[in-house]
Amino acid sequence: MCYNMFMTRYARRLDGKTFVITGVTSGIGRGLAQKLILDNGCRVIGVGRSVEKMASLISALGENARLLDGRLFDVSQRENWLSLASSLSSSGVRIDGIVNGAGILPHFANTGKTTPENVEKALKTNFLATVYAVDALRQALCESPVIVNISSAAALATIAGTGAYSASKSALKSYTEALRAEMRGKGQVSLIMPGFARTEIFREQNTTIESSRLFMMMSMPADKMVAKIYRAVARGRRRAVIGKDAKAMDFLYRLLPSFAPEIISSVIRRAKTPLFSDVFND
Ligand SMILES: NC(=O)c1ccc[n+]([C@@H]2O[C@H](COP(=O)([O-])OP(=O)(O)OC[C@H]3O[C@@H](n4cnc5c(N)ncnc54)[C@H](OP(=O)(O)O)[C@@H]3O)[C@@H](O)[C@H]2O)c1
């Protein structure tokens, strides 16, 4: 009861704000957009690529869909961000925050089997898209803005077969920390590092997350992850490590920085999960 009242007080400071959110067509981004619209009456300029998935979000929002301004574009192309900035400027729209949620999880494979093109795609979508967004939208930001960058537990300790993803999320972590230091006292910069959540992000893998007991034990349902990220943002958290897998990775890396990636990879290898079959049967 007390906790709910405490949270309500924090969450109210987001009421009526205008956010640009990427990745609104699926998973975490969609969940955050829905919460900000339905719980806080926020206006969301929501970015995704899929027409069908955007239509599904609009239909789920019902009459509140008027608070969603859906934009379909590829976040990894800088010119698309410059076009969005120019369209906001010509219509006089100011924004209170940006949630950089769009991301991809490339197929789990050893570095020797990952093409440079796939590494570039991960870096552009998971890291450079945020750089483009912050750069292009800087002029449109109101005073004391909220910037939320969704990195990953993969930036805390990497796992064999996830080099491109971990590199992109580590770059995002460092960029976010530098941005926070630069914006000290001038806004909120939240670095979110989730562990595994059961969304559609595993679409590039050999199999679903449900096929692995270890991953089902370690991961959390998408709606629970969304609620935890929303709470972290509402409370103005600077850094949120979410999920027991993420917390364990954080702890292990702090304790044994030279061995943590091997220890975690070895646990996954022993579990013989089909998700990592191309990594450990190589
Ligand atoms: N789920 C996890 O276990 C987990 C763990 C740690 C961190 N994260 C991070 O959390 C964020 C959200 O992931 P999720 O699990 O919600 O994944 P998801 O369900 O696959 O959703 C990804 C979203 O990103 C959008 N997107 C991807 N590439 C894009 C591009 N080039 N241009 C525009 N939009 C693009 C997708 O749009 P379309 O579908 O319309 O293409 C979709 O809306 C990602 O940054 C991810 O790395 C997830």
Out of 199, 209, 223, mutate this one to test ligand 1's pocket (max ligand atoms within 8 Å of CB): namely: 199
Residue 67 has a pLDDT of 98
Q: Is the CB of 233 under 6 A from ligand 1?
A: no
Q: How close is the Cα of 161 to the center of ligand 1, in Å?
A: 19
Residue 2 has a pLDDT of 66
Residue 156 in contact with residue 239, Cβ under 8 Å?
no
Q: Is the CB of 104 under 6 A from ligand 1?
A: yes
Q: How close is the Cα of 247 to the center of ligand 1, in Å?
A: 21
Residue 208 has a pLDDT of 87
> Domain locations in the chain?
2-280
User: If you average pLDDT over residues 15-26, what whole number do you get?
Assistant: 98
CA 240 to CA 250: how far, in whole Å? 11
Residue 18 has a pLDDT of 98
From 41, 48, 50, 21, select the one nearest 33 (Cα to Cα).
21
Range from 93-97, 98-102, 234-238, 271-275 carrying the lowest mean pLDDT: 271-275
Q: Is the CB of 46 under 6 A from ligand 1?
A: no
Q: Is the CB of 243 under 6 A from ligand 1?
A: no
Residues 6+ apart with CB under 8 A from 120: none
Q: Which CATH architecture has domain 2-280?
A: 3-Layer(aba) Sandwich (3.40)
Q: How close is the Cα of 242 to the center of ligand 1, in Å?
A: 17
Residues 6+ apart with CB under 8 A from 32: 21, 99, 101, 226, 229, 230, 233
Q: How far from the centroid of its chain's Cα atoms is residue 241's Cα? A: 12
Q: Is the CB of 209 under 6 A from ligand 1?
A: no
Q: How far from the centroid of its chain's Cα atoms is residue 48's Cα? A: 13
Q: Which ligand 1 atom lies nearest to the CA of residue 153?
A: 6
Residue 211 has a pLDDT of 85
Q: How close is the Cα of 169 to the center of ligand 1, in Å?
A: 12
DSSP 3-state helix, strand, coil percentages of the chain (rounded to 5)?
Answer: 60, 15, 25
Q: Is the CB of 204 under 6 A from ligand 1?
A: no
Q: Is the CB of 99 under 6 A from ligand 1?
A: no
- Going through the chain in order, the beta strands assigned E by DSSP cover 18-22, 43-48, 68-72, 95-100, 141-150, 188-194, 197-198, 220-221, 239-242
Which DSSP string do the residues of 197-256 spell out, in sequence order?
A: EESGGGGGSSS-GGG-HHHHHH-EEHHHHHHHHHHHHHTT-SEEEESHHHHHHHHHHHH-
Q: How close is the Cα of 5 to the center of ligand 1, in Å?
A: 31
Q: What would the pLDDT profile of 60-119 be if each residue is shown by its tens digit?
A: 999 999 999 999 999 999 999 999 999 999 999 999 999 999 999 999 999 999 999 999
